[in-house]
Amino acid sequence: VILNHFHYYYSFSSPTSLIFSPQTSNYVFLFSSSSLPFSSLFPIQSLSTFTFITLLKNIFHPSYYWTRFLLSLEFFCSELLKEKPLKQLILFWILSMSSGNSNGATVVSTGSTKIPAVAHPLAEEPDEIASNIKYHAAYSPHFSLFKFEPEQAYYSTADSVRDRLIQQWNETYLHYHKADPKQTYYLSMEYLQGRALTNAIGNLNTQDAYADALNKLGHDLEELVEQEKDAALGNGGLGRLASCFLDSMATLNLPAWGYGLRYRYGLFKQRITKDGQEEIAEDWLEKFSPWEVVRHDIVFPVRFFGHVEVKPDGSRRWIGGEVVQALAYDVPIPGYKTKNTISLRLWEAKARADDFDLFQFNDGQYESAAQLHSRAQQICAVLYPGDATENGKLLRLKQQFFLCSASLQDIISRFKERKQGKDSREWTEFPSRVAVQLNDTHPTLAIPELMRLLMDEEGLGWDEAWDITTRTIAYTNHTVLPEALEKWSQHVMWKLLPRHMEIIEEIDKRFVAMIHAAQNNLEHKIDSLRILDNNPQKPVVRMANLCVVSAHSVNGVAQLHTDILKAELFADYVTIWPTKFQNKTNGITPRRWLRFCNPDLSTIITKWLKTEEWVTNLDLLAGLRKIADNADLQAEWASAKMASKVRLAQYIEQMTGISIDSNTLFDIQVKRIHEYKRQLLNILGAIYRYKKLKEMSPEDRKKTTPRTIMIGGKAFATYTNAKRIVKLVNDVGAVVNTDPEVNSYLKVVFVPNYNVSVAEKLIPGSELSQHISTAGMEASGTSNMKFALNGCLIIGTLDGANVEIREEIGEENFFLFGATADDVPRLRKERERGLFKPDPRFEEAKQFIRSGAFGNYDYGPLLDSLEGNSGYGRGDYFLVGHDFSTYMDAQARVDEAYKDRKLWLKMSILSTAGSGKFSSDRTIAQYAKEIWNIQECRVP
């Protein structure tokens, strides 16, 4: 019992997992097999007082009073307890007192001594799991010992689950250490993990056992799940994709880790008021997260500002400035039905104690005394701080460099550590042991930082460092939007990262020389190809160009997106490196996005396919195609969908106060609010529908298809037009939903504070989902995949992954409209020449807004963006007006199809059946084989 408790307590709960530490051996206890004679307990004299007391506190199930006694003992007798005989005497006395079972705990006998039994932390039986949960409620207390309400029960349950996760996590780490495989490190500024409890017990295959255990304790698992806050580490599809990828990496037993930042307040929490969107801090760490383990043994220095020192031998070193500490927090990521549990390592910035000026503080200069502490806290305060000012730009750049520097130092440290019995490792081995994937341009500074570490810290020459860097780093592009292809001011870069600017200048210089020497046909394009844009008015560093020049692989995230990259955005680079560019169509994890969030539908799929193997082999869903017409399957499918709709309706009423009818068509668009995603097109269509309903007779209204339109997503705080769209949706809803003539046939709901947990409620209950971005502007999208997987039909353009989804599920099961990506440039030019003729329905919808039908708010600037032929904020750049007519026609086809229930259900089943391609398992397997060159490394 003592061995088990010591091992589990310290490897699970300690800030430093001692299982990884050589000094662990100093804390080994040996026992005889008969009766625990204390002469065989050693090296007890080497234990610190803290360790000894902690051991006593956690071996037994002492009452509140024994705990208080031990605390007093620790406080008053620290010196006396250094003596070995006293330690043995106290331990013997506690065991003797416990043998009478005075505190009511279960006891077992070991020889002549009775001691309390402790359930195994990896127990799988409900009774034992319940015991573990009770144990954590008492001895990992985050709340009053006298309460076991849902919140307390959630944290105790999470602690119990974490025991198992960290056991597997430790085994995974040690297996990697021994096997020394090539390992991938995924660098991303965003992760949208969602709630961890359901995902963890689902992947561990203990969901039913935990549900039973909690029932025995008087709690419901679903109730407890609602106590967990989403980790506010991301904003949109970029972060959710990264989290799906981590799940697949673990499930496929691939040696891989994620790196990110531990944002204190995330992006923001969205509150909807009469004035529209209000942003408030999202304090997801208000009480703490039970899923992370702070690693006080993993700390790296990260420097900002300063200057470059040139040494007599010509070597260079970055010195001065300010240095903050990067402290690691590890979040275990379990694979599905496998022991492999990988890590998401999040960095938090802090200052050293030496940086606190005690003299100034005692002199009353409180703010000055803690300046560096304050600046360190700012780094991970929020995701994407406003960058309109130079200070804002500096902070964003600090965030990006902080992630890159801390992660690379950690990667290099691990590379050196795994030397497999050698005195040291050869740097030529680095690319064969390390793969670094940049998730968009945010981690681009990993390129010059790896060069700096190799040259300045490890003493390598330029050529060797460059060879290692270019063979190690790969880049994923996620956008063709100009504002998202980052360009940093050279002035700001020189100020914050002088050594890195030297390295970037040298990379740029050598690239230009290569063009002159080997690609003279591109000499006239050097200014657009090079990394540095030296425009005297606004010199910048083009981060995407730096990635393309430096990475060994550049990939798009959908076939259409990759085609655009190769034909337009990076076309000239393709002539230089034709094999560097490839496609990796995004995917989603079927565990979170079907198996766990939609258990009713999952059960039906498993029943009809006669296997659950589809959870890890999504291609098996194709077996539903041949039975899509089956009446029994359709009846079960409809029943599952209705149950999800009822739950969603209850949630909507709880969150918004709006009652919606689950018998109406649930039409949902949820994603980041942006003009190119065209929520404006959606709401204009809803406005036109409302106007026509108002004009109908009561008899004609009864012939229509009743519809509930739900829109959700966050608009960036500084994105004015996006916030106007949020305001418009809410204003339209306020009118439509209270109109007694119409609200039985149409409702409009804005779903506030959209996140992963909200998506897990919306998607199972959805019947139609809108993915209506301007063609050629959405790189991929993954919410379309989630909706399709859950049997939701899509209305959309030929953009991003819509193209491939339509191919897989069948053109007849996709409501297509709008211009194609090839059409868009021509249509914009025609608009500039005044050749656009708007659909009368489009004009009618706009005029209805201008009439004040939805309030007195000035929507003029928003509507003006749809007017005119050209100019800033005008000219309908996103082609809302052009696509409105075909959009409304497609919506009419939706209405007709929904009336034919058998047809609709068949289309829904075929949508799920055609979703096999869009598993992130497939995507990650392709990355592993074709970019990272890593192999499975399964924990035995």
Q: Which residues have a catalytic role annotated? A: 478, 671-672, 677, 782, 786
Are 261 and 134 contacting, i.e. CB atoms less than 8 angstroms apart?
no
Are 282 and 263 within 8 A, CB to CB? no
Q: Give the ranges where 629-719 is alpha helix by DSSP (H).
A: 631-656, 679-695, 698-701
Angle of the 840-850 helix axis to the 679-695 helix axis, nearest 10: 90
Radius of gyration of the chain (CA): 30
**Of 710, 685, 739, nearest in space to 848 by CA:** 685
Identify the DSSP state of 919: B
Sign of the dihedral through C-alpha 339, 342, 348, 352 = positive
Return the ∠ at Cα 239 (arms to 238 and 243), rounded to 5°.
120
Contacts 24+ apart (CB under 8 A), 692-700: 693/741, 693/742, 693/745, 693/746, 694/739, 694/741, 694/742, 698/741
Report the 3 state secondary structure along 471-535: HHEEEECCCCCHHHCCEEEHHHHHHHCHHHHHHHHHHHHHHHHHHHHHCHHHHHHHHHHCCEECC
HSE-CB of 197 using CA atoms within 13 angstroms? 24
H-state helical runs in 657-716: 679-695, 698-701
3-state secondary structure of 363: coil
- C-alpha to C-alpha distances, 477 to 8, 175, 780, 933, nearest whole angstrom: 42, 33, 11, 19
Distance CA(99)–CA(131), nearest Å, equals 20
Instruction: Find tokens 């002088």 and name the residue.
Output: 498
Give the tokens for residue 48. 């610190």
What's the half-sphere exposure (Cβ side, CA atoms, 13 Å) at 419? 11
Element (H, E) at 450: helix 446-452
Give the list of residues 6+ apart from residue 111 with CB closer than 8 angstroms, or none: 34, 35, 36
Distance CA 921, CA 251 (A): 8
Question: How far apart are the C-alpha atoms of 588 and 107, rounded to whole Å?
Answer: 48
Extended beta strands in 241-373, E state:
256-261, 269-273, 276-280, 293-304, 307-310, 316-319, 322-334, 341-350
**Residue indicated by tokens 């420097």:** 303
The sheet with strand 581-583 has its strands ordered as 293-304, 322-334, 341-350, 256-261, 183-187, 434-439, 473-476, 553-556, 581-583
Which token pair is 449? 């930082």
Closest residue by Cα to residue 717 from 382, 274, 386, 378: 386
Q: How far apart are the first and last CA of the chain?
A: 25
Strand duo 293-304 + 322-334: pairing: antiparallel
> Are 914 and 620 spatial neighbours (Cβ–Cβ below 8 Å)?
no
Q: How many angstroms separate the Cα of 592 from the Cα of each of 160, 232, 908? A: 21, 18, 20
For the CA atoms of 906, 908, 910, 915, the dihedral, rounded to the nearest 10 degrees, stands at -170
